[in-house]
């Protein structure tokens, strides 16, 4: 009697294949046929789990994001109980940067997806609330701003939104080779110096 | 007698077609055939000017960058003579953000290229020195840092590298819809508040 297939596991197998294709050859090479060949399954099997390319993309992006989340959680857990907010934030943000091979591969795929979703917003409906939650979490770790300049009430979330954008930009420049890892971490530390001054 | 063709002009016509294809349908749709159809020329003509896809990409990216440069120069020129460093910097950086339709279209293409070059570094050999020059220029406009923390000598260029990364990240989040234009400009202004405090 054949073993029952776990649909989530099969989907993840296919998404992993998709990500290898995207990381090695770019999103333009991602097709039902290529992904099926990479996963070692039939094109019909891929189509059974993912009806459209958008759907395949959205699921693969969620896998990349889950892996990023796991990296962040492992780094934060290694800090032990009750780390200082600055150390916690530094650890969390550095874990988001593509500084090793695994993170670089995921980063390249994430960048390809961001570029894809700039054209196909429906492919990543969760991106906006995810980012908003992360900005809110970062804002909670930053020191309270002294007094907001006249007419601006949102200094804490502006600072958090800026910090997250800075980390995203550092990631882009690390992947493109414009910044070295040393430059990127120095820029991050300098920003934390500014925010925790 | 047929009019003499300006090769630069013909290349630009083809690159414009490439960018329309990339902006409308993504880089995966960019091919000799599609670009030729969009430009209204033969595939052989495209091949005459661009031997490889990398070469076509690199030229189109340079066109996007030149347009960005022109936008920045126009915005800065509108400030008149001797603007304050903060105002000059704010104007320059805001002009880099995809805040209107033309800048959004170029931004989508630029993001697609960044994603492409993360896989094909040879496609954009000028990216690294261009970024380094921009970081240096920004560093020259920032106030001198008070005293670098022990062991760190590069505070001015760290600040500039961070500021440019922040703007790049804001651009990515504007294109993906994670940040609104109001959020992005508030985050930029907050960063300038920090740096010019």
Which pLDDT tens digit goes with each residue over B91-101?
Answer: 999 999 999 98
- pLDDT given for residue B78 in this prediction: 96
Backbone torsion region of residue A6, taken as left when φ is above 0, otherwise alpha when ψ lies between -120 and 50, otherwise beta: beta
Q: Cα distance from A160 to chain B (closest Cα, Å)?
A: 8
Residue A23: list chain B partners with CB under 8 A. 119
- Taking an 8 Å cut-off on Cβ atoms, the answer to whether A108 and B118 are in contact is yes
Please report the number of interchain residue pairs, chain A to chain B, with beta-carbon separation below 8 angstroms: 177
User: Of A86-90, A122-126, A152-156, A181-185, which range is least confident?
Assistant: A152-156
At A110, the pLDDT band (50, 70, 90 cuts) reads confident
Write the pLDDT tens digit of every residue in B37-70.
999 999 999 998 888 877 877 777 778 888 888 9
Residue B150: list chain A partners with CB under 8 A. none
Please say whether the beta carbons of A21 and A30 come within 8 A: yes
User: Of B105-109, B172-176, B191-195, which range is least confident?
Assistant: B105-109
Q: How many CA atoms lie within 13 A of B78 on its CB side?
A: 9
The class level of CATH for A62-195 reads mainly alpha
CATH code 1.10.357.10 region(s) in chain A: 62-195
Q: Which parts of chain B are beta strand (E)?
A: none
Residue A129: list chain B partners with CB under 8 A. none
- Taking an 8 Å cut-off on Cβ atoms, the answer to whether A115 and B117 are in contact is no
Q: Which residue has the higher pLDDT, A108 or A3?
A: A108
At A85, the pLDDT band (50, 70, 90 cuts) reads very high
CA distance A113 to A30: 12
CA distance A118 to B145: 37
Quick count: other Cβ atoms within 10 Å of Cβ B174?
Answer: 23
Closest CA to B177 of B98, B61, B64: B98
CA distance B119 to B113: 10
- Taking an 8 Å cut-off on Cβ atoms, the answer to whether A194 and B189 are in contact is no
For residue B155, with 0-12 CB atoms within 10 Å meaning exposed, 13-18 middle and 19 or more buried, which class applies? buried
- Taking an 8 Å cut-off on Cβ atoms, the answer to whether A118 and B161 are in contact is no
- Taking an 8 Å cut-off on Cβ atoms, the answer to whether B117 and A176 are in contact is yes
Q: What percent of chain B has pLDDT over 90?
A: 46
CATH code 1.10.357.10 region(s) in chain B: 65-195
Q: Which residue has the higher pLDDT, B154 or B134?
A: B134
B1-51: CATH topology is Arc Repressor Mutant, subunit A (1.10.10)
Closest CA to A58 of A105, A111, A123, A122: A123
- Taking an 8 Å cut-off on Cβ atoms, the answer to whether A195 and B190 are in contact is no
Q: Which of B25, B29, B111 sits opposite A115 (nearest CB)?
A: B111
Helix (H, G, I), strand (E, B) or coil at A173: helix
Contacts of A43-46 with C-beta under 8 Å, sequence gap 24+, read A45/A10, A45/A14, A46/A14
Closest CA to B159 of A76, A192, A69: A192
Q: What percent of chain A has pLDDT over 90?
A: 46
So what's the ipTM on this one? 0.85
Q: Which of A108, A178, A195 sits opposite B119 (nearest CB)?
A: A108
DSSP 8-class letter at B4: P
Backbone phi, psi, residue A78, to 5°: -65, -15
- pLDDT given for residue B62 in this prediction: 79
Q: Does domain B65-195 have CATH number 1.10.357.10?
A: yes
- Taking an 8 Å cut-off on Cβ atoms, the answer to whether A132 and B178 are in contact is yes
Instruction: Identify from A110, A118, A155 which residue to disrupt to test chain B contact, counting B C-beta atoms within 10 A and taking the largest count.
Output: A118
- Taking an 8 Å cut-off on Cβ atoms, the answer to whether A159 and B114 are in contact is no
CA distance B157 to A34: 44
Helix (H, G, I), strand (E, B) or coil at B125: coil
CA distance A123 to B174: 16
> For residue B42, what are the contacts with CB-CB under 8 A and spacing of at least 6?
B36
CA distance B179 to A76: 26
CA distance B105 to B175: 9
Write the pLDDT tens digit of every residue in B25-45.
766 667 888 889 999 999 999
Q: Cα distance from A172 to chain B (closest Cα, Å)?
A: 8
Q: Which residue has the higher pLDDT, B115 or A140?
A: A140
Helix or strand holding residue A193 (H, E):
helix A181-195
Write the pLDDT tens digit of every residue in B6-23.
887 888 888 888 878 877
CA distance B112 to B61: 10
CATH code 1.10.10 region(s) in chain A: 1-51
Q: Search chain B and give the residue with CA nearest A152.
A: B186
Average pLDDT, chain B: 86
How wide is the angle at C-alpha B36 spanned by C-alphas B25 and A34, nearest 5°? 50
- pLDDT given for residue A28 in this prediction: 64
Q: Is the pLDDT of residue A136 over 80?
A: yes
Q: What is the CA radius of gyration of chain B?
A: 19
């Amino acid at each position: 009697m054949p073993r029952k297939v776990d649909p989530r596991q099969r989907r993840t197998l296919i998404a992993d294949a998709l990500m290898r294709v995207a990381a090695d050859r770019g999103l333009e090479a991602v097709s039902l046929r290529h992904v099926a060949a990479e996963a070692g399954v039939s094109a019909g099997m891929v189509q059974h789990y993912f009806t459209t390319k958008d759907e395949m993309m959205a699921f693969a992006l969620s896998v990349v994001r889950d892996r990023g989340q796991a990296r962040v959680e492992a780094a934060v857990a290694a800090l032990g109980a009750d780390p200082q907010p600055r150390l916690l934030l530094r650890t969390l943000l550095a874990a988001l940067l593509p500084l090793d091979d695994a993170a670089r591969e995921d980063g390249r795929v994430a960048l390809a997806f961001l570029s894809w979703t700039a054209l196909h917003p429906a492919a990543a409906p969760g991106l906006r609330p995810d980012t908003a939650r992360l900005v809110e979490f970062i804002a909670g770790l930053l020191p309270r701003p002294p007094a907001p300049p006249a007419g601006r009430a949102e200094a804490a979330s502006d600072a958090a939104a800026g910090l997250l954008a800075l980390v995203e930009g550092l990631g882009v420049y690390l992947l493109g080779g414009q910044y070295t890892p040393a430059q990127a971490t120095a820029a991050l530390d300098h920003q934390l110096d500014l925010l925790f001054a």
